[in-house]
A and B are shown apart, each in its own frame.
Chain A
Amino acid sequence: MAYILLIDDDNDFRNVLKIMLTRLGHTPTLTGRGEDGIEQAIASKFDLVILDLMLPDLDGYEVARRLRSAPRTRNIPILIITARAQAADREVAMQAGADGYLTKPVDPRELATKITEMLTLNRAETAPAPSEKPGTGPIAGSAPSAPVAVPGTNPLTAQSAAPAQTVPPGPPPNGRVYVALGLRGGVGATTFAVNLAGVMSRAGRRVCLVDLSPSTGHVTLHLRLRPRATWADLPPLIDSGVVAQFVTRHDSSVFVLAAPPQPVRATMSGDVFQVLLYHLRNFFTDVIVDSAPVLDDPTVAALSVCKHVLVVINPEVATVQATQGTLRVLPTLGLSETQIKLVLNTPTSETGIPAAAVEKALGRAVDLALPFDKQQNTALAQGLPLFTQPSSTPLITALAGFAAKL
């Protein structure tokens, strides 16, 4: 049972939804005005806000923005239900902080599924992490507690003890997997993966970013996230409920499966990661795997189910040499030419090898050339990635165009 705030000026729709939500076992509170809805959301505790975009006083975009900016309401999931059905409406609503978007007339079964899904994800985020005892969970704003790895119960140490888990039979889920691969450190693969996830989420896609680094992944640094748990804390048997508890939601609606905060000696097994990816693909439309700069088991497992591998390179000699080798190896792992996308990143202002020379050396065209962006260093220091900045930069514009074609 959940407490749901419904903000919609259509009296008939409010009444219909009230009946529907009550039948689903929830407790709805109804209002027809945006200002009133914000006051109620701040005054009481709600598990979900259902919001119309066209309201007589404040429009729904503004209501969503204000709910996201108020400390008490910033984590409440917001589901937009509106008659405005165009892609531009959806995109602006997602940018304003919405987590879901349905258009009127809404199908009752679709609405029930969406509400359940949003409540499940939110509860998983707000529940204490599995490795924490009740009452000892991290308080917002305080330093996160270090993950507790119990010997014999996590996928790093229990692979031989626990029975091997396999992907459930049947057709694969619909979620698409992209692997951001830079087989030389420092090429900007994580920066690329974070901003790619951000622009996809801004476009209304439901995105999960998986940081596979076994040596202090930087996704949480980019997004200034304090994850409650990381993949190193995963139990040996993984199901969708477990997965929902281990992802952390960023304000941009990107979900993150974080890497452990300190180096670990072993990564996940390929089988465990296959199962994990299976469940993530059920939840999300797009799963971006920020792989470690090595072809370890989880990376190979991700490559085996990915739609595209996004090979991130720099315009410098050593990277080009490493990429030549990478391009020779990838086909042996079953990847076709069309699955491989070359991303030429320019992380510094120094002029490197010209793009044409890189293409000649690699014997193939670059699929995306990202320009140098001097705001990137500030973005990393502040934990505000470029995709969250109010004005679009050339890098984000190029990335958004690329993401739209993926």
Chain B
Amino acid sequence: MIRQIYIYADTGTPIFSRKYAEVKEVDINELLKFIVPIAQNLNEGSIEHTDITRYRISYMRLGRFTNVFVSDRTSETARVEEALVNFSRHLETLNLNLPLSIEEAKVLEKISEETVSLIPVKICLVGFGGVGKTTILKLLRYEEIPLRYEPTIFGERAMLVIPVGPYKAVLFTVGGQERFMPIWDILIRGSDVIFVVTDSTPENVERTKTHVLPIVRETAKYARIIAIANKQDLAMALPAYRVEQILGLKTFGCVAIDPAYREPLLNLIKEILLS
């Protein structure tokens, strides 16, 4: 996902910026002081990237402008480059006057939002069979909650009905049966957010820690990983804070068959992605 967009004039003056999602751990403004002069010396049209923690700063000079995208490293470089090239070319066709008029700023805002929306956010629900991944997917999509357990074959995919900020979000679940574990990496790869789902029983939480977490951590290095302690309504359920202690992950206690959990879960997604 592209989190922030910055446009600089050839003088190095910032002329436009939009923050669609926060960037933590890194002071982007400080970084830009170093990066923008480098970007302005690039060959026209060439793109460079600087990776720092879980973020990628991509920059390109085209015509009068130097454009900088701050994205997550979970996004494929080729996709970010394509978005940056198209954005820069579009900018070139606008014949902008500096300083920007209000109308011109509005146009830029529209183009920026369209650009960030081109790269969807991927959210993947991972966990063993029967822990409620499909139920959570249906809960988030305002669909009827299934009352009968039907194992997922390979994986499921569906769009999140409500956009998260300017982003479109795609939800994936993995088939939880053991025979599908060798191909979980295919579904996990490229995820921005991974929900590790357990049914909150001590046995399942333990197995999740030893079997699921290593796959998730190895496959999606830069994704944000959160646990969902599902089935909190059952007698054998460990409370969410205990699951959090065992897994070492921020954990959301949930009863996916209860629609009351929908809004808190959607808010959690927004918080994870945007804050």
A, B from the same assembly: no
Interface residues of B (CB under 8 A from A): none
Interface residues of A (CB under 8 A from B): none
